[in-house]
Amino acid sequence: MANKKKVVAPTAHWTGAKPPKLKPDQIPNHVAVVMDGNGRWAKERGMPRTAGHEAGEASLLDMVHGAIEIGVKELSAYAFSTENWRRSPDEVKFLMGFNREVMRSRRDEMNDLGVRIRWVGREQKLWSSVLSELREAEELTKSNKVLTLNMCVNYGGRAEIVDAITSISKAIKSKKIKPESITEKNFAKYLYSPQMSDVDLFLRSSGEQRTSNFLMWQSAYAEMVFLDVLWPDADRRTLWNAIEIYAERERRFGKA
Ligand code: FPP
């Protein structure tokens, strides 16, 4: 029998802050985060926008530790959207390289924590060097079970739905499936990550109140929490704060 891998416990927050005490059913299973406000954070400091992205790495890492501490099982991070290609060529180049470097330098830490990394996004246009680092991280962490971290790189909700429809159309054309057999459940099998669970808590930093095309299908019944903190100033306490707000909400899923 293969040796069971030893998982390292998350480190405590530097202030000694502990997660709020909540009942298990008050903890969201899947949290989606829109890491917004890097540019404004940098501008306030007279720094280039890229310095804001760099500072945002620590926020995401701290949130991973905090997600494990509180018992979240799936975390999705919007690291590069299909719309982000419209930014200046310099910023696009920076963001691609940055995603690649973050994956390369952080995958061992993620692996030690028992985090399973998954890339979620569209292959077309994505730098092959970025994709290969993401694939490597996926392979290294594939048997981890503590937390799934979905790295959404070159991701767009509409693109995902259109790509699913393209795959379904091909399956119909080759007579693998019948049009009348399509249901919500089996439609989801054609999304980028069929294993992904529905989003329970959708968190956006920076005070903007938009979903910006993130996990549209999966967030149909998510609770939305918008916090007035710029992403580089966010950390696990921001996540816990959002979870406390979530815990107060009543989720009805269409029922009366
Ligand atoms: C939005 O801030 C952020 C992004 C475009 C996503 C990139 C996120 C990071 C680089 C954070 C950490 C990521 C990784 C991979 C560790 P913005 O530039 O839109 O900010 P603004 O709205 O203030 O201009």
Residue type for 194, please? Answer: P
Secondary structure percentages of the chain, helix, strand, coil, to 5? 45, 15, 40
| pTM for the whole structure | 0.96
The pocket around ligand 1, CB under 6 angstroms, is made up of 35-40, 49, 53, 56-57, 60, 79, 84, 98-99, 102, 206
Tens-digit pLDDT profile for residues 83-97: 999 999 999 999 999
CA dist 47 → 40, 43, 53, 83, 86 (Å):
10, 6, 11, 24, 21
Distance 226 CA to ligand 1 centre (A): 16
d(CA 6, CA 54): 30
Provide mean pLDDT across the span 69-81.
98
Return the bridge partners of 150, or none.
Answer: 76, 118
d(CA 148, CA 114): 9
The residue contributing the CA closest to ligand 1 atom 15 is 99
Dihedrals φ, ψ of 74, to 5°?
-145, 130
The residue contributing the CA closest to ligand 1 atom 5 is 80
Give yes or no for a contact between 213 and 81, defined as CB atoms under 8 angstroms apart: yes
Pocket test for ligand 1, best of 34, 35, 103, 235 (most atoms within 8 A of CB): 35
Q: Please provide the DSSP assignment of 154-173 as one string.
A: EE-HHHHHHHHHHHHHHHHH
Report the nearest atom of ligand 1 relative to the CA of 40. 23
Domains in the chain and their CATH numbers? Answer: 26-155+197-246 (3.40.1180.10)
Tens-digit pLDDT profile for residues 14-69: 999 999 999 999 999 999 999 999 999 999 999 999 999 999 999 999 999 999 99
Give yes or no for a contact between 195 and 26, defined as CB atoms under 8 angstroms apart: no
Return the bridge partners of 32, or none.
Answer: 76, 202
**Which residues are annotated as catalytic?**
36, 84
